[in-house]
Structure 1
Amino acid sequence: MAHAPWPENLIREDVILPKVLNLALASYGMSGRIFHAPFIHQHPGLKLHSILERTASHSRERYPDAKIVRDFASLIDNPDIDLVVVNTPNYLHYPMAHAALEAGKHVIVEKPFTVSVDEGKALIDLANQRQLMLSVYHNRRLQSGHLTVRELLDKGELGQLNTFATHIDRYRPQPGPKKWKEEPNPGAGLLYDLGSHLLDEAAMLFGLPQAVTADLRCERDQSQVCDYFHLRLDYPHHKCLLSASMLARAPGPAYVLHGDRASFVKQGADIQESLLAAGTLPDSDNWCQEEPQYWGLLYSDEGSTAYPTIDGRYQDYYHNIYRHLTEGAPLNTLAEQALVTVGLIEIAEHSAREKRTIELGTAP
């Protein structure tokens, strides 16, 4: 079933929106161009007011009505801006989100939330004190693979689950040009970059594990940061295997689930990012509908059958933000949830350093 980009009552011309919210992007890098700006721009109740580009003006071609500013102070000091999206390098998440909250702005932080649990707690406390919204952009929850797997689990199609495995494979044998991702600074490396996605997914599906075992490595020549991880999360009746690599020339399945009744294997996790990178805007009901030949396969005693993929819907994130701030709807992506993911990253690092399994009751 296709999902419309926005509920019908928000696209009817005769409906007057309660308020148009002015949003500002703290960066127009890859995340700003692909994951944030298109959905802000397409939403009828949101306005992309300002974009921080320190030297270039790349955003002007696509968003000519947005104001380009050269420093962060110009965003948080502007009284017309309601919400600031902090989609900057990981180590800047805390100081920039803190400054925006202090300035009275609602804040969205790109994942990972912060580079430490202490920083995350401090931001949550400040947002509560100022009675401001604080959310974290964990968009993997709105990918087609995650939504399809959740439906399978909710329906009990696999029976008693024993293995949940998901991984992200890339082939980038040389360190990239973004120094903040490749140098050994707080929040650098693949565990923070992609591990935050996978750990959040596991926590949202299954809650906190009983134990964590982590293998973190620097596999590429000249690599100074973690560029491979394999995490095992132990639950009472099943295990989660989460991994990512930068040296996988031939990617494996995005999802492999085994239960006592059936197994499920899906090759690709989602097509939204590739569509957005190609310039396809989320402006139609079926903008990211996956072709049947890419559906996952459900294996049982009766053989294998293709299981329909649920459409991904990144647009739901910003619609929920809008409804939360204008109608008081519950916030779907809470900073407190993202803090759990940061805590799991710290536990994984502890496990890798000591080369042992960490029971959550014994974690520091």
Structure 2
Amino acid sequence: MQQSRATHPVPDVRPDRPPALRAVGLGRGFGSRRVVDGVDLDVPMGSVLGLLGPNGAGKTTLLRMLVGLLAPTEGAVELLGRRLPGHAAEVLPHVGALIEGPALHAHRTGRQNLLRHAAAEPLLSSARIPAAVDAVLHRVGLADVADRRVRGYSLGMRQRLGLAVPLLTRRRLVVLDEPTNGLDPAGTRDVRRLVAEMNAAGATVVVSSHLLSEVEATCSHVAVLHHGRLVAGGPLPALLGDRPGPLLVTTPDGDRAVRVLVARGIDAEEVPRTRVHVAPGPAAPDVVALLVHAGVAVQEVTRPAARLDEVFARLTAGSAPPVHHDDRHAVPPAWAATAGARR
């Protein structure tokens, strides 16, 4: 039997290192509504974590609490081994974040916006600011429009400019909330490249996204939030392989194979190209033995690896999550998590 597996990133994750980010019993309510409820989460140092969840699951609220932009109702957060909010001034300069969307001055140019934010970076000296801004404009593909006013930027261009801020200086932890929002396929590929570059340079990256295919291609770890609760989390390969998937049996006698299997209580159906789809459950050797004993020729049996969209659908099945007050109405938009004065 052959087994198909996707190739996933292999980060420099070692169990002896403390997590880059830790949440313990984290919760947040707005009035009587619980938006995030008892989340325990460890993000390994050097990993790329994809945060998934349906609309209204509480992802943005959780991310705001993780980077110190929103105080939790209960629970605790540690960034880079330091407890918040007590050590915020110490750790936040090493953290870059794009939460909800970029907060930009529309009447300023892209370059002027970045110069303004660079001036507030504690780890970026005045002498290095112009070169850092030029470099990041090239990295996000905005060098040619850097001196145009942001009010003339498209949604995708604004998103790229927002992504530039965490890239102004080297970070140890980067948190991105829907970074591909408004981007075309080329822009989405650029975000994938930037995430890989940041991770290769030593940063731990947390990305929330609705593009499951991008998470599957980019992330080493996944956490799934539903109704404000963490319903699954861990290394992506382990999550995808947490239970057997369906079998695909290649046979020239598909109709007969289906009849044999269904007669034994096994859910199966014929699919194009002389294949039979056998629902998850029975072991491959048992299916092969049953078919061969019945005189059905079996040419090949494969069990493709589960896809992230299938796992996500299973984990979030059921009624739609309740509509909560969005945290963007509770606190002003903020997207660069930094603290302290520029050196």
TM, length-normalised to structure 2: 0.29
Q: Which has the larger radius of gyration?
A: 2
Of structures 1 and 2, the one with the larger relative CO (CA 8 A, separation 6+) is: 2
